[in-house]
């Protein structure tokens, strides 16, 4: 069983400041080709604790999991440290980290077990943009 909804379009806006006397703003919007998802197709997720089955997919670009209920209503899984996801046999842990001196949170896949764990972060890059 699998489900599919319309794709999430990635839009990027840039504001360009004019150096003219009136200092007007020009906004340019781009739509990115491709998909923000790790896999566009929803996969089955079974919550053993509550005995609930859901359809789920990972939006790598926005770093959240999307759930699809039996009425085809799409919701976003809450980002909490006690909510971890196993998707296609791969765990995703929601953890805090520091990058360039700033604190962030996100979903990481552990690459090993033990006292010291190495994590992998999946990213989608904006490499192909078209002007609308």
What is the residue extent of each domain of the chain?
11-122
pLDDT in tens, the chain (132 residues): 344 445 566 666 555 554 454 444 566 666 666 778 888 888 887 766 766 678 899 988 889 999 987 788 888 998 988 888 888 888 999 999 998 999 999 999 999 999 999 999 887 766 544 444
Burial environment of residue 30 by CB neighbours within 10 A (0 to 12, 13 to 18, 19 or more):
middle
pTM: 0.68
Give the per-residue SS3 of 109-131: EECCCCCCCCEECCCCCCCCEEE
Residue at token pair 């007007």? 24
pLDDT at 25: 57
Helix (H, G, I), strand (E, B) or coil at 106: strand
**Residue 1 near residue 41, CB atoms below 8 Å:** no
**Residue 16 near residue 25, CB atoms below 8 Å:** yes
């Amino acid at each position: 069983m699998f489900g599919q909804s319309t794709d999430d379009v990635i839009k990027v806006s840039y504001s360009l400041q004019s150096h003219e006397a009136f200092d007007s703003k020009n906004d340019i919007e781009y739509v990115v080709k491709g998909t923000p998802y790790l896999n566009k197709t929803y996969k089955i997720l079974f919550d053993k604790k509550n005995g609930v089955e859901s359809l789920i997919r990972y939006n790598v670009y926005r770093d959240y999991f999307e759930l699809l209920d039996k009425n085809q209503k799409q919701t976003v899984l809450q980002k909490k440290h006690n909510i971890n996801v196993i998707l296609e046999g791969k765990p995703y842990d929601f953890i805090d980290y520091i990058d360039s001196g700033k604190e962030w949170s996100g979903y990481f896949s552990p690459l090993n077990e033990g006292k010291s764990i190495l994590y992998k972060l999946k990213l989608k890059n904006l490499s192909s943009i078209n002007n609308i």
